Structure 1
Amino acid sequence: MSIHRLLKFLAIFFALALVVAACGNDDDDEPAAPAPEPAATEAPAPEPEPAATEAPAPEPEPEPMEPFRVAFFYPGTNDDISWSNAWWDGAQAAAANVPNLELEFVELLNEPDAYVQQGSAFADQGYDFLLFAHGAMVDPAIQVATNFPDTQICMAPHHPAPDAPPIPDNMCWVEVDQHNANFLTGVIAALATETGTIGSLNGFEFPALTRQPEAFHLGARCVNPDIGFEQEYINTWVDTAVAKAAAQSLIASGADVILSATDQAVLGIIDAAQEADTQVWVVPSYYDSFDIAPDVVLTSAVHGLADAGQAMIERAYAGEIGPGSYHQFDVTNTAGIIAAPLYDNAGVLTDEDWAIFEDIDAKVRTGEITIPDETAGDPTIGAAGSAASIDVTALGCTPR
């Protein structure tokens, strides 16, 4: 190759090298292309709003409950610590079990016309249940029940004779064998007496009352058939002066344990006992009255009247009385019929005495010893003096 051609070739070669170098520099100096933006994504669709629901309708207000209206009628007062107070207690106890119970009490009623007038007035006002708590008010109760057939009326205490005529369907008899408690206190009286003579002062003479002193005498005779017994009807429930004078007479006759078969007049008997020269014990009826005079109250004949009053209101409310019905409360089915505890005076009886009493009490409650009624069965104790001639062994007693 000639020198001239070689030089031409080298010139071309270097020229191409420069071009290639220039192209390479251009590529290095240019900035790199930016990374592509990520593809846009659609925002999630919003959750649908829950469909609107209607608010529940408010519960209707309950209709106000009609009151169950009850009226008691009795010869004493609500706080006489005796007959009427015991019925009042029973009505208060019923309020715990009878909703919306409305109670009214008519006090110091002793005349038949007053029971008819007051009973009719309450029946006319739409009272649901009337209770005449007076054993001598049979005819007034029947009269009011007849005149107001839509009112439930009951009378206590009363045990109708077997041949008694039927009574209106809206009426009932309530028999509280309160004399069962008097029988038990008679047992205690016979065990406690030092003179061998006991007594009783009684409100009025009618069978439901007369059975109380007669049962007291009979209970004493269950222990000692020959025990002395004196009694008087003082014809008052509340006159303490009359009761005190009568008690002083009994004490002068030798009685050292005296039953009170009356109401507030018992306070006069207590006064006489406290003023006596020797220990004289008083046995109040209807209510545990030890706290009145612990120095002379030996025990009390608690008749279970509160139990009966409560039960009859609850039965009336439940519609469980029944037409022309008879309801019996006695020592076998009513825990509240008792001789009240002697408390601080328990030492008056010896351990042997207590064993005798507890044996008789248990036999009475199981029916092994029977206590006569005032009008039904044979014998009866609805007449004054009737207990004196009864053979106590025929009743189940075993005198000592």
Structure 2
Amino acid sequence: MKKILSLLVVLTLIFAMTGCSSKPDEPEKAADKPAEPSQAEAEATQTAPEDMTVGFIYVGPIGDGGYTYAHDQGRLYLEEKLGVKTIYKESVPETQEVEQEIRNMVDQGAKAIFTTSFGHMDYTEKMSKEFPDVAFFHCSGYKTTENMSNYFGRMYEARYLSGIVAGMKTQSNEIGYVAAFPIPEVIRGINAFTLGVQSVNPDAVVKVVWTSTWYDPAKEKEAAISLLDQGVDIIAQHQDTTGPQQAAEERGAFSIGYNTDMSTMAPKAYMTAPVWNWGPYYVAQVQNVLDGTFKSEAYWGGMKDDVVKLAPLTENAPAGAAEAVDAATAKILDGSLAVFAGPILNQAGEVAVEEGKTLTDEEMLNMMWFVKGVEGKIE
């Protein structure tokens, strides 16, 4: 009997040891899959609004009346809605200085940092790896890391609508466009604007002048003047300042702004503008950080998300423009109008988008060609 009992004990130990060592790769595979945080874990990572500091790094001054001003309005909206503390730094160039400003903000307790210019991207990516416990958000770029999102808006939708206004207003059928840099973001906007123009006025053309600046009021105004000297009667822009608007006003022309409602800057010229509405996005993302539910993503919201929209038309807009814009807006919102749906011809008159096809997000994000009707080169 003792021998039997001893044998049973030995067998039990063998089975126990076998069970502990069988298929050792299975637990490792399971460990590779990140587990969803439990409610207790999520609650443990929550932060009270009064303990949250959020940093913003701007490429221009908050008083530019355009791009940086729009972001700063979003910051103020964030403060109002969530009660968090925000800090910001104006006029940070697209250089290594971004890294130092990020370090300064982390030292001040920032747990979320938004960098707002395309050229801030690589520096933000580097810092996100240095500070893994901080949530980073980069505007207009394409890179992400485990704790860094990128975000932008489908401004081309509002650009198309503003093109309708310009196409209905022009008498010379020549519209000027003051453009910043020849990158997909800017090219996509020029093309969308031109398609909007041609949807109501197939004979109109859009003349492009590059400034190689984001924020240089004098240079951007000079570029607009050069276009006005060529006979354009409307000025549109992809710039951070109101310089082009002021040039149009001084020369008795009309204008389409950008970034914010620029009606007070050129009341006799300005008709409307594609504008940013960053506040709701900032609130949603910071709330995620507060709740401990932040996850890195690539965000590209559109008019349906209220991130981009067309500013109210002024009395300078042509008769019938409001109705035409409203009709096109409804179609964009219900999905029946895609700005880059074929057939679309390129600048050389060749088919770039076939009938029945629509450009993918990837194709739009990498756009480096002009549609027919654009006069200018991608330099």
TM-score interval, smaller chain: 0.7 to 0.9
SS in 1 for 2:305: coil
Q: Does 1:284 align with 2:231?
A: no
Please report how far the alpha carbon of residue 376 of structure 1 lies from its aligned counterpart in structure 2 after TM superposition. Answer: 4.9
Please report how far the alpha carbon of residue 372 of structure 1 lies from its aligned counterpart in structure 2 after TM superposition. Answer: 4.3
Q: Which residue of 1 aligns with 2:125?
A: 142
Q: Does 1:317 align with 2:290?
A: yes
CA shift digits 1:60-114 (9 cap, x unpaired): xxxx975210011111222222111111111111223323x11111111232312
Match of 2:87 among 90, 96, 104: 104
Seen in structure 2, the aligned counterparts of structure 1 residues 247 and 332 have a Cα distance that, compared at 3 Å, is same
In structure 1, C-alpha distance between the alignment counterparts of 2:166 and 2:299, rounded to whole Å = 30
Q: Which residue of 2 aligns with 1:88?
A: 72
SS in 2 for 1:131: strand
In structure 2, C-alpha distance between the alignment counterparts of 1:199 and 1:382, rounded to whole Å = 24
In structure 2, C-alpha distance between the alignment counterparts of 1:305 and 1:316, rounded to whole Å = 17
In structure 1, C-alpha distance between the alignment counterparts of 2:77 and 2:277, rounded to whole Å = 13
Q: Which residue of 2 aligns with 1:270?
A: 245
Seen in structure 2, the aligned counterparts of structure 1 residues 214 and 313 have a Cα distance that, compared at 3 Å, is farther
CA shift digits 1:152-205 (9 cap, x unpaired): 0011123x4xxx7xx421111112222322221111111111111112112223
- Larger mean CA deviation between 205-214 and 124-133 belongs to 205-214
Seen in structure 2, the aligned counterparts of structure 1 residues 383 and 325 have a Cα distance that, compared at 3 Å, is closer
Please report how far the alpha carbon of residue 144 of structure 1 lies from its aligned counterpart in structure 2 after TM superposition. Answer: 1.0
Q: Which residue of 2 aligns with 1:350?
A: 319
In structure 2, C-alpha distance between the alignment counterparts of 1:173 and 1:65, rounded to whole Å = 23
Q: Which residue of 2 aligns with 1:370?
A: 338
Please report how far the alpha carbon of residue 116 of structure 1 lies from its aligned counterpart in structure 2 after TM superposition. Answer: 2.1
Which letter does structure 2 place at the counterpart of 1:349? P
Q: Does 1:154 align with 2:137?
A: yes
CA shift digits 1:253-273 (9 cap, x unpaired): 222111121112x22x23322
Residues 194 and 206 of structure 2 are in contact (CA less than 8 Å); yes or no, is this contact kept in structure 1?
yes
In structure 2, C-alpha distance between the alignment counterparts of 1:239 and 1:213, rounded to whole Å = 20
Q: Which residue of 2 aligns with 1:397?
A: none
Q: Which residue of 2 aligns with 1:188?
A: 165
Match of 2:100 among 113, 117, 132: 117
Residues 372 and 378 of structure 1 are in contact (CA less than 8 Å); yes or no, is this contact kept in structure 2?
no
Please report how far the alpha carbon of residue 243 of structure 1 lies from its aligned counterpart in structure 2 after TM superposition. Answer: 1.8
Seen in structure 2, the aligned counterparts of structure 1 residues 371 and 219 have a Cα distance that, compared at 3 Å, is same
In structure 1, C-alpha distance between the alignment counterparts of 2:65 and 2:338, rounded to whole Å = 29
Q: Which residue of 1 aligns with 2:230?
A: 253
CA shift digits 1:121-168 (9 cap, x unpaired): 32344311001111233222211111111110011123x4xxx7xx42
- Larger mean CA deviation between 134-143 and 148-157 belongs to 134-143
Residues 182 and 212 of structure 1 are in contact (CA less than 8 Å); yes or no, is this contact kept in structure 2?
yes
In structure 2, C-alpha distance between the alignment counterparts of 1:319 and 1:388, rounded to whole Å = 48
Residues 185 and 365 of structure 2 are in contact (CA less than 8 Å); yes or no, is this contact kept in structure 1?
no
Residues 204 and 233 of structure 1 are in contact (CA less than 8 Å); yes or no, is this contact kept in structure 2?
yes
Pairwise mapping of residues 67-86 of structure 1 onto structure 2 (< 5 A)?
67-86=51-70
Please report how far the alpha carbon of residue 380 of structure 1 lies from its aligned counterpart in structure 2 after TM superposition. Answer: 2.7
CA shift digits 1:350-390 (9 cap, x unpaired): 23x443322112111222111349x9547537545423389
Aligned CA RMSD, in angstroms, stands at 2.6
Larger C-alpha radius of gyration, 1 or 2?
A: 1
Residues 176 and 305 of structure 1 are in contact (CA less than 8 Å); yes or no, is this contact kept in structure 2?
no
In structure 1, C-alpha distance between the alignment counterparts of 2:137 and 2:70, rounded to whole Å = 17
Residues 294 and 344 of structure 1 are in contact (CA less than 8 Å); yes or no, is this contact kept in structure 2?
no
Residues 154 and 174 of structure 1 are in contact (CA less than 8 Å); yes or no, is this contact kept in structure 2?
yes
In structure 1, C-alpha distance between the alignment counterparts of 2:340 and 2:49, rounded to whole Å = 45
Residues 184 and 338 of structure 1 are in contact (CA less than 8 Å); yes or no, is this contact kept in structure 2?
no
Residues 304 and 333 of structure 2 are in contact (CA less than 8 Å); yes or no, is this contact kept in structure 1?
yes
CA shift digits 1:331-368 (9 cap, x unpaired): 1221x5222122332xx4223x4433221121112221
Q: Which residue of 2 aligns with 1:327?
A: 299
SS in 2 for 1:201: strand
The runs of at least 4 aligned residues of structure 1 exceeding 4 Å deviation read: 381-385
SS in 2 for 1:342: coil
Q: Which residue of 1 aligns with 2:198?
A: 221
Residues 62 and 90 of structure 2 are in contact (CA less than 8 Å); yes or no, is this contact kept in structure 1?
yes
In structure 2, C-alpha distance between the alignment counterparts of 1:301 and 1:103, rounded to whole Å = 27
Give aligned pairs, total: 310
Task: Among all aligned residue pairs of Structure 1 and Structure 2, give the percentage whose two residues are the same amino acid.
Answer: 22
Give TM-score, length-normalised by structure 1.
0.71
Seen in structure 2, the aligned counterparts of structure 1 residues 65 and 93 have a Cα distance that, compared at 3 Å, is closer
Seen in structure 2, the aligned counterparts of structure 1 residues 303 and 211 have a Cα distance that, compared at 3 Å, is farther
Seen in structure 2, the aligned counterparts of structure 1 residues 98 and 275 have a Cα distance that, compared at 3 Å, is closer
Pairwise mapping of residues 169-184 of structure 1 onto structure 2 (< 5 A)?
169-184=146-161
Give TM-score, length-normalised by structure 2.
0.74
